[in-house]
Chains A and B, each alone.
Chain A
Amino acid sequence: MSTIEFIGLTKQYKDLKAVDNLTAKVEAGRITGFLGPNGAGKSTSLRCLLGLATASSGEALIEGKPYHQLAEPLKRVGAVLDSQGFNAALTAKQNLLVICAAAGIDDSRVLPLLELVELGHAVNKRTKGYSLGMKQRLALAAALLGDPDILVLDEPANGLDPIGIAWLREFLRNLANQGKTILVSSHQLAELQHTVDDVIIVNHGKLIAAGNAKEIMAGQSLEEAFLRLIGVAA
Chain B
Amino acid sequence: MNLVKAELRKLFYQRSTYGLILGTIALAILGTAFSPYAMTRIGKGLTMPLSSSDVVDGVYSKSLGGYIFVLIIGVLIMAGEFHHHTAVATFLAQPKRSRVLLAKLGVAAVVGALINVLATWVAIATGAYALSLFKNVAAPHDFIWGNYTAAAAVTGAVLAIVGVAIGTLVRNQNAAVTGSLVWLMVVDRILAVIWTEIGKYLPTGLITAMLNIHLNVKDQGSGLGINTADYLDPVPAALLLLAYGIGFAVLAMFSTLRRDID
Q: Is the CB of B88 within 8 A of A52?
A: yes
CB distance from B227 to the nearest CB of A (A): 45
Bound complex: CA of A52 vs CA of B15, how far in Å? 29
Assuming the contacts A98-B9, A98-B13, asked whether A86 and B262 have C-beta atoms less than 8 A apart, the reply is no
User: Is A140 among interface residues, defined by CB-CB distance under 8 A?
Assistant: no
Residue of B nearest to A103 (CB): B93
Report A-chain residues with C-beta under 8 Å of the C-beta of B132: none
Bound complex: CA of A79 vs CA of B89, how far in Å? 9
- Beyond known contacts A94-B9, A98-B10, A103-B93: 14 more, CB 8 A cutoff: A47-B260, A54-B260, A73-B94, A73-B95, A85-B84, A86-B85, A97-B9, A97-B13, A98-B6, A98-B86, A99-B6, A99-B93, A101-B6, A102-B5
Scan residues 1-18 of chain B and give those whose CB is less than 8 A from a CB of chain A: 2-3, 5-6, 9-10, 13-16
Report B-chain residues with C-beta under 8 Å of the C-beta of A67: 95
> Lowest 6 CB-CB distances: which A-B pairs, in order?
A85-B85, A102-B6, A102-B93, A101-B6, A68-B95, A53-B260
User: Is A87 among interface residues, defined by CB-CB distance under 8 A?
Assistant: yes
Contact of A102 among B15, B16, B94, B261 (CB under 8 A): B94
- Give 1 or 0 for each of B195-226: 1 = CB within 8 Å of chain A CB: 00000000000000000000000000000000
Report B-chain residues with C-beta under 8 Å of the C-beta of A178: none
Q: Is the CB of A142 within 8 A of B89?
A: yes
Report A-chain residues with C-beta under 8 Å of the C-beta of B10: 87, 98
Contact of B14 among A74, A79, A90 (CB under 8 A): A90
Residue of A nearest to B81 (CB): A87
Q: 24 A-B pairs, CB-CB below 8 angstroms?
A: A47-B260, A47-B261, A50-B92, A51-B92, A52-B88, A52-B91, A70-B95, A84-B88, A84-B89, A85-B88, A86-B89, A87-B10, A87-B86, A89-B14, A90-B14, A94-B9, A95-B86, A97-B13, A98-B13, A98-B89, A101-B5, A102-B6, A102-B93, A104-B2
Report B-chain residues with C-beta under 8 Å of the C-beta of A87: 10, 13-14, 80, 84, 86
B-side interface size class? 20 to 34
Q: Is the CB of B85 within 8 A of A73?
A: no
Residue of B nearest to A142 (CB): B89
User: Is A81 among interface residues, defined by CB-CB distance under 8 A?
Assistant: yes
User: Is A88 among interface residues, defined by CB-CB distance under 8 A?
Assistant: yes
User: Is B96 among interface residues, defined by CB-CB distance under 8 A?
Assistant: yes
CB distance from B103 to the nearest CB of A (A): 9
